[in-house]
Amino acid sequence: MPIIKSALKRVRQTTVRTARNARTKRDLKQARRALEAALALKNARNLSELLSNVQSQLDISVKKHRLHQNLANRLKARYARQVKAAGGKLSKKAAKPAPSKARTSKAKARPKQPVAKKSSAKK
């Protein structure tokens, strides 16, 4: 057991973060298993809801740096293809790609203000 105060704090932080990461990982696994089970049973009734849930969990995992963005995008595309092949309908939300980091149209653009002219000081 550490004796130094900072080392004790690091131990406390590690336990909290480990629990948080495990919860994120567990939620993602549960969502994926539910979708895969529905795909195996050809249960097309709630496939779009399950797909939406899986995509949401994947996005959360990417946001928390548990998964790489490319892996999550690849999994989302794979599950979307499987749901479509099984006869499930893709919702518009599920079919959209992840938003880019560029400025979205929701953000209001400020109008450009005129640049103040510098006055030349004559001596």
Looking at per-residue confidence, does 88 or 45 come out higher? 45
With CA atoms as reference, report the closest residue to 74 among 98, 43, 52, 47: 98
pLDDT(113) > 80? no
Give the start-to-end residue ranges of the domains of the chain: 5-95
> Rounded to an integer, what distance in angstroms lies between the CA atom of residue 33 and that of residue 37?
6
pTM: 0.65
CB atoms within 10 A of CB 75: 17
At 108, is the pLDDT very low, low, confident or very high (cuts 50, 70, 90)?
low
* Contact criterion met (CB below 8 Å) for 97 and 80: no
* Contact criterion met (CB below 8 Å) for 1 and 12: no
pLDDT(90) > 80? no
Domain 5-95 has CATH 1.20.58.110: yes
pLDDT(98) > 90? no
